[in-house]
A and B are shown apart, each in its own frame.
Chain A
Amino acid sequence: MELHEFELIYKQWNVSLQKYAHYFLRDEEASRSIVNDLFLYLWFSKKQPDNCKVYLFRAVKNASLNYIKKHGNVPLLYVEDDRLTTLSDAIPEPGSPGIDSEKLQFLKRVISLLPERRQLVFRLHRLEGFSYAEIADLMHISVRTVEDHLAKSMQFIHAHAKHLVDGNLTEA
């Protein structure tokens, strides 16, 4: 593939893949390494996978699990810190509200305050377009747990961001 095509794929998925790797590795440096190495491999081997997204996520999953096997001491299951960060981080700058990209920025910040595992489930579904079953497979959790995380995500997002859609309620 051409560099500009590769650039698009890289920009689109690099950060998501890092967050996904981090879910297994709990180590930002290792996550970044694994994901970048994957992209370098993809570039130099000139591979053209049928479905880039699925390929990339699967490869990161396998690489992460291999890394854990090799380095041994990273816990796969851990107690999730369910306490949510305070919202003060996400308060938008004072000024004219109602500009769409500002609203989206605020929404992004709210999402980033979700606990890691929950946030990953939400991102994989809403941003990457994976189905519940695919997410369950990627994260080694049950479909029920995926549903639960999504429900709690929306509950949180609604509680903190509903003012963004106030006065703008159309059935559309």
Chain B
Amino acid sequence: MEDKIWTCIVKRLSCTETEESAAVLDEWLKSDAAHIEQYLEAKNLWKMTALIEPEVPAEDAAELIHNYQQEEPTNAPRRMSFWKYGIAAALTGALLLAGLQFFRQDKPQPVEWVVHKTEPGRMDTLILPDQSTVCLNAGTEIRFRKNFTSEKIRDVQLKGEAYFEVQHDKTHPFVVTSGDIKTTVYGTSFNIRAYPNEAEMSVAVNSGKVGVQHVPSGDTAIFLLPNDKLSLRNGQLVRSTLDKADVSSWAQGEMIFEQMPLRDVLATVARRYRVEIKAGTEDYGDCKLTARFKDQPLSAILKTLNISMNIAARQVNDTIYLEGGNCM
């Protein structure tokens, strides 16, 4: 029993949880207040582990290189033959596996971006080179420069939804660009939702102070504090307040829709449950849904759509066909 719970706890903390494991964990959390305390302790410890610095080797690279160059010529062949069997062969193997270009010319390298994507239905945690953590929701893509830590600005590009916990560094602003929204922080935790095809983009703050710019409107930044949320809809910026738990509730398996156009609701559901949703000839453009789903199976969501909007659903393998609907 203990083991199983810890497996579920770790799944939640590493954003790899399944409906099953979430259900088991929530059941356990509900059964005793002490369990909640335990979970929070585990969560805090988990976060602390992200702050651990790598151990430093006894000699530094300069010494290593220097010592090698000092060695007697007689030692060199031994080294080289070790390399021949060990490293060179290993690198050829690594090459075949990675398909890398072997030799690069010594010319200035264009700045390269590291890209990380999540599949529909999967969440993922990423640790950035500066030890910040990012929890990516389904169907999300994040990009950052290869030389992230040596640039003046910690530059990140986002398409989708992610919850950031940024390492504090007041000399290097952490900037996330997501469509028309630019979010700047020095060390805080916040959530950004910016799926390219959704009607609304938002930034919600969990801790610290966050600066948000709507790039087309100019350079003035709006500052958000914990529990603030800024939404961009039809070019308009709207500010609201959230419950702390709602800032990144998706990471705990909850879906919250607030006056969300049905089209976007369906896209979110499709990503989360890894299905395709076909609306046939219906255009749900004006339909807006306000609802909260925590650890519900897909059927419960479809039932809600049926009751509240008269939408009929039929599932064939991984595709849901929708019909009808008379929403306000």
C-alpha spacing A139/B86, complex, angstroms: 19
Tell yes or no: B83 within 8 A of A by CB.
Answer: yes
Tell yes or no: B106 within 8 A of A by CB.
Answer: yes
C-alpha spacing A162/B39, complex, angstroms: 11
Interface size on B, residues (CB 8 A): 65
- A122 / chain B contacts, CB cutoff of 8 Å: 49
- Decide: A13 and B49 in contact? CB cutoff 8 A: no
Tell yes or no: B167 within 8 A of A by CB.
Answer: no
Tell yes or no: B94 within 8 A of A by CB.
Answer: yes
Tell yes or no: B42 within 8 A of A by CB.
Answer: yes
- Decide: B87 and A41 in contact? CB cutoff 8 A: yes
Cβ distance B2 to chain A, nearest Cβ, rounded Å: 7
C-alpha spacing A25/B52, complex, angstroms: 26
Contact of A11 among B60, B85, B90 (CB under 8 A): B60
- Decide: B45 and A164 in contact? CB cutoff 8 A: yes
Interface size on A, residues (CB 8 A): 69
Q: Knowing A43-B65, A103-B48, A132-B16 are in contact, say whether A11-B100 is a contact too (CB < 8 A).
A: no
- Decide: A66 and B89 in contact? CB cutoff 8 A: yes
- Decide: B60 and A150 in contact? CB cutoff 8 A: no
- B109 / chain A contacts, CB cutoff of 8 Å: 48
Cβ distance A153 to chain B, nearest Cβ, rounded Å: 8
- Decide: A129 and B126 in contact? CB cutoff 8 A: yes
- B83 / chain A contacts, CB cutoff of 8 Å: 37, 41
- Decide: B90 and A108 in contact? CB cutoff 8 A: no
- A141 / chain B contacts, CB cutoff of 8 Å: none
C-alpha spacing A21/B79, complex, angstroms: 18
- Decide: A165 and B94 in contact? CB cutoff 8 A: no
- Decide: A12 and B54 in contact? CB cutoff 8 A: yes
Q: Which chain A residue shows the least CB distance to B226?
A: A172
Interface string of B52-93 (1 = CB under 8 A from A): 111111001110110010000000000100110111111101
- Decide: A169 and B37 in contact? CB cutoff 8 A: yes
Interface string of B155-171 (1 = CB under 8 A from A): 00000000000000000
- B62 / chain A contacts, CB cutoff of 8 Å: 3, 7
Tell yes or no: B98 within 8 A of A by CB.
Answer: yes
Please indicate which of the listed interface residues A16, A39, A122 has the most CB atoms of chain B within 10 Å of its own CB.
A39
Q: Knowing A58-B98, A66-B89 are in contact, say whether A10-B112 is a contact too (CB < 8 A).
A: no
Tell yes or no: A148 within 8 A of B by CB.
Answer: yes
Contact of A162 among B13, B14, B45, B86 (CB under 8 A): B45
Q: Knowing A59-B94, A107-B52 are in contact, say whether A151-B6 is a contact too (CB < 8 A).
A: yes
Where chain B touches its partner, the secondary structure class is: helix
- Decide: B87 and A107 in contact? CB cutoff 8 A: no
Tell yes or no: B41 within 8 A of A by CB.
Answer: yes
Tell yes or no: A161 within 8 A of B by CB.
Answer: yes
- Decide: B49 and A126 in contact? CB cutoff 8 A: yes
Cβ distance A66 to chain B, nearest Cβ, rounded Å: 5
- B28 / chain A contacts, CB cutoff of 8 Å: none
C-alpha spacing A6/B189, complex, angstroms: 31
Interface string of A108-145 (1 = CB under 8 A from B): 10010000000000100111110110000000000000
C-alpha spacing A14/B6, complex, angstroms: 31
- Decide: A169 and B40 in contact? CB cutoff 8 A: yes
- Decide: B86 and A66 in contact? CB cutoff 8 A: yes
Contact of A55 among B85, B89, B94, B106 (CB under 8 A): B94
- Decide: B127 and A129 in contact? CB cutoff 8 A: yes
Tell yes or no: B46 within 8 A of A by CB.
Answer: yes
Tell yes or no: A51 within 8 A of B by CB.
Answer: yes
Q: Knowing A14-B57, A125-B14, A127-B52 are in contact, say whether A151-B90 is a contact too (CB < 8 A).
A: no
Not counting A59-B90, A162-B38, A169-B37, a sample of 20 additional A-B residue pairs whose C-beta atoms are within 8 angstroms of each other reads A18-B57, A37-B87, A39-B61, A46-B104, A49-B100, A51-B114, A55-B98, A58-B93, A59-B91, A62-B94, A66-B89, A67-B86, A70-B85, A125-B14, A126-B52, A147-B10, A151-B10, A157-B49, A161-B45, A168-B44
Please report B residues at the A interface, Cβ cutoff 8 Å. Answer: 2-3, 6-7, 9-11, 13-14, 16, 37-38, 40-42, 44-46, 48-57, 60-62, 64-65, 68, 79, 82-83, 85-91, 93-94, 97-98, 100, 103-104, 106, 109, 112, 114, 124, 126-127, 146, 150, 189, 206-207, 244-245
Please report A residues at the B interface, Cβ cutoff 8 Å. Answer: 3, 5-7, 10-16, 18, 33-34, 36-41, 43, 46-51, 54-55, 58-63, 66-67, 70, 103-104, 107-108, 111, 122, 125-129, 131-132, 147-148, 150-152, 154-155, 157-158, 161-162, 164-166, 168-169, 171-172
Q: Which 4 A-B pairs have the closest CB atoms?
A: A62-B90, A129-B127, A63-B90, A10-B61
